[in-house]
């Protein structure tokens, strides 16, 4: 450890929340302005605090790891990013939705075009970073390989390759919150929102309450990733068939194949259908949100699993939501109100096939002005045995389904495995 040598700043700490340290905003933000220069770049650099017009720093939750790396002497304190050749592989927008200060409030639609719009400022020494990156990839997924082998996804050399993988454009999006817009979305005053965010994070960002002039927060939360199959530009064309899955992270199922829920089968089914739509001349979109365990986290989630399986009578669809609420305080902390922002970023106006049974997601999308034609529930044969409890409980609670909704005695009979089985 040689942190003293590398981290010279450690000797004195500048509190930007101090009244004598309130800087006149060099680059004011006019959220929703149609011209990116007029809107203003988001500047969250810590190398020159006087340039900052945002609270928080880049990289979401990883900002803490970066700090640790600097503390350990592994990371140069004054590193300036060399952004040569990092430009997006596919252009996105601008769309009308970018110019509406209320349509998008949780990401920066100009965040992938830093080099195009703010190059002069960057050259003059302002540390402006992209908050969105766009690249291309091929996906190797066992379930997709099965779909190809079964003839459900033909090899066409365009979407599905000879190697049985699928081509995709992927877009990583960091959260950039416009606080007045977030407050309005939740029906709060901006002051109340700032105060609660400050208090409930243990006072992490004092500027939330001391710097009302700073309207942007880069919250230390997970990012969002969009996977597009077909031509990205078609997402904004309502006449092109769009198949879409909006998926909230579930590490246990998505990555490890844990069978207590339907997350991975629903995700891979969504990817398969999105790719198939692209093969038919449409476009597919799968959006992955880092909102593990209904945004309650994995520790809470595993506690709930135990509480469900140890309760009197065992794990039952009839008591599924109640057990979550007992442990977590709420059934669900995901608040889908911010989710449609990413759809508006891509200019989506109409979703022909929405892969989701969640009414919260459906309502949020429709209330944000996007038309939904068909809702697609997970096919029965893809539901793992132990996930019957979850799926039947959700259907009974009003989640969308084309199938039967079990009630009362029938619902009570839907049981999960015991803990040690
Ligand atoms: Zn899950």
Which DSSP string do the residues of 96-150 spell out, in sequence order?
GGGG-TTT--SS-TTTT-HHHHSHHHHHTT-----SEEEEEEEE--HHHHHHHHT
DSSP state of 48: S
What residues have a C-beta under 5 A from ligand 1, the ion?
250, 253, 261, 263
β-pairing, 166-173 vs 224-229, is: antiparallel
Of 234, 273, 315, 332, which residue is the catalytic one?
Answer: 332
- At residue 11, the pLDDT reads 53
pLDDT band at 419 (very low <50, low <70, confident <90, very high): confident
With cut-offs at 50, 70 and 90, classify the pLDDT of residue 5.
very low
Asked if pLDDT for residue 3 goes beyond 50, the answer is no
Percent of the chain residues past pLDDT 90, beyond the cut: 63
- Which of the residues 185, 276, 334, 375 is marked catalytic? 334
Q: How far is the CA of 363 from the centre of ligand 1 (A)?
A: 21
Mean pLDDT, residues 62-76 taken together: 87
Hey, what are 137's tokens?
A: 């990839």
Distance from C-alpha of 355 to C-alpha of 124, rounded to nearest angstrom: 46
Lowest mean pLDDT of 76-85, 87-96, 103-112, 284-293, name the range.
Answer: 76-85
Kindly state the average pLDDT of the residues 252-264. Answer: 92
pLDDT of residue 185: 95
Mention every residue, 6+ apart, whose C-beta is less than 8 A from residue 16.
22, 23, 49, 52, 207, 211
Q: Minimal CA–CA distance to 118: which of 54, 34, 27?
A: 27
Give the C-alpha separation, 347 to 294, whole Å: 26
Backbone angles phi, psi at 190, to 5 degrees: -60, -40
Distance (Å) from CA 252 to ligand 1 centroid: 7
Q: What's the pLDDT score for residue 4?
A: 44
The stretch 294-316 carries a mean pLDDT of 87
CB 351 within 8 A of CB 370: yes
C-alpha 144 to ligand 1 mean position (Å): 19
Q: How far, in Å, is the centroid of ligand 1 from the Cα of 385?
A: 13
Q: What does the pLDDT average to over 194-215? A: 95
Percentage of the residues of the chain whose pLDDT score is greater than 70: 93
**What does each C-alpha distance from 325 to 221, 300, 303, 319, 331 come to in angstroms?**
23, 11, 12, 10, 5
Q: What is the pLDDT of residue 95?
A: 98
* Spacing, Cα 343 to ligand 1 middle (Å): 23
The enclosing H or E element of 247 equals strand 242-248
95: nearest Cα among 190, 260, 221, 232: 232
Cα of 325 from ligand 1 centre, angstroms = 17
Question: In this predicted model, what pLDDT tens digit does every residue of 80-102 receive, in sequence order?
Answer: 788 889 999 999 999 999 999 99
Cα(18) to ligand 1 centroid in Å equals 44
Query: Ligand 1 centre and the CA of 262: distance in Å?
Result: 6
Other C-beta atoms closer than 10 Å to the C-beta of 345 total 28
DSSP string, 296-365: T-HHHHHHHHHHHHHSTT-SBGGGHHHHHHHHHSSS----GGGTHHHHHHTT--EEEEEE---HHHHHHH
How far is CA 380 from its chain centroid? 27
The three-state (H, E, C) secondary structure of 158-214, written as one string: CCECCCCCEEEEEEEECCCEEHHHHHHHCCCCHHHHHHHHHHHCCCCCCHHHHCCCC
User: For residue 329, what pLDDT band results from cuts at 50, 70 and 90?
Assistant: confident
Query: How far out from the chain centre does Cα 227 lie?
Result: 12
pLDDT at 375: 96
Query: Is 334 designated active site?
Result: yes
Confidence of residue 17 (pLDDT cuts 50, 70, 90): low
pLDDT of residue 301: 87
* More reliable by pLDDT, 401 or 26: 401
Average pLDDT over residues 142-151: 96
User: What pLDDT shows up at residue 394?
Assistant: 85
Cβ–Cβ < 8 Å for 193, 219: no
Nearest alpha carbon to residue 8 among 71, 56, 98: 71
- Rounded CA gap, 38 and 264, in Å? 43
Mean pLDDT, residues 131-135 taken together: 98
DSSP letter for 60, please. G
């Amino acid at each position: 450890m040689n942190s003293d040598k590398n981290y010279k700043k450690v000797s004195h700490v500048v509190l930007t929340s101090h009244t004598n340290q309130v800087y006149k905003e060099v680059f004011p933000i006019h959220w929703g302005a149609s011209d990116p220069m007029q809107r203003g770049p988001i500047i969250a650099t810590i190398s020159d605090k006087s340039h900052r017009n945002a609270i928080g720093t880049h990289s979401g939750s990883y900002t803490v790891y970066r700090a640790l790396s600097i503390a350990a002497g592994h990371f140069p304190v004054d590193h300036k990013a060399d952004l040569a050749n990092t430009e997006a592989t596919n252009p996105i927008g601008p769309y009308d939705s970018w110019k509406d200060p209320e349509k998008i409030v949780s990401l920066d639609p100009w965040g992938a075009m830093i080099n195009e719009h703010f190059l002069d400022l960057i050259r003059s020494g302002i540390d402006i970073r992209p908050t969105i990156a766009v690249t291309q990839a091929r996906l190797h997924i066992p379930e997709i390989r099965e779909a190809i082998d079964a003839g459900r996804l033909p090899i066409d050399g365009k979407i599905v390759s000879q190697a049985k993988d699928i081509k995709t454009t992927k877009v990583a999006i960091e959260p950039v919150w416009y606080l007045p817009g977030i407050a309005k979305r939740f029906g709060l005053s901006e002051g109340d929102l700032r105060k609660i965010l400050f208090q409930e994070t243990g006072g992490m960002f004092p500027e939330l309450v001391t710097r009302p002039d700073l309207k942007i927060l880069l919250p230390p939360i997970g990012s969002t990733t969009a996977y597009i199959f077909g031509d990205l530009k078609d997402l904004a064309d309502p006449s092109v068939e769009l198949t879409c899955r909006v998926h909230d992270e579930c590490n246990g199922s998505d990555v490890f194949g844990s069978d207590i829920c339907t997350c991975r089968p629903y995700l891979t089914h969504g990817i398969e259908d999105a790719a198939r739509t692209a093969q038919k001349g449409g476009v597919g979109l799968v959006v992955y949100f880092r909102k593990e365990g209904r945004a309650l986290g994995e520790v809470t989630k595993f506690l709930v699993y135990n509480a469900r399986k140890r309760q009197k009578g065992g794990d039952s669809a009839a008591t599924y939501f109640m057990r979550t609420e007992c442990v977590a305080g709420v059934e669900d902390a995901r608040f889908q109100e911010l989710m449609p922002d990413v759809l508006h970023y891509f200019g989506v106006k109409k979703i022909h096939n929405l892969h989701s049974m969640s009414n919260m997601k459906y309502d949020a999308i429709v209330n944000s002005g996007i038309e939904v034609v068909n809702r697609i529930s997970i096919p029965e044969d893809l539901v793992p045995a132990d996930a019957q409890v979850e799926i039947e409980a959700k259907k009974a609670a009003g989640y969308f389904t084309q199938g039967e909704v079990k009630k009362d005695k029938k619902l009570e009979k839907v049981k999960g495995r015991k803990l040690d089985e």
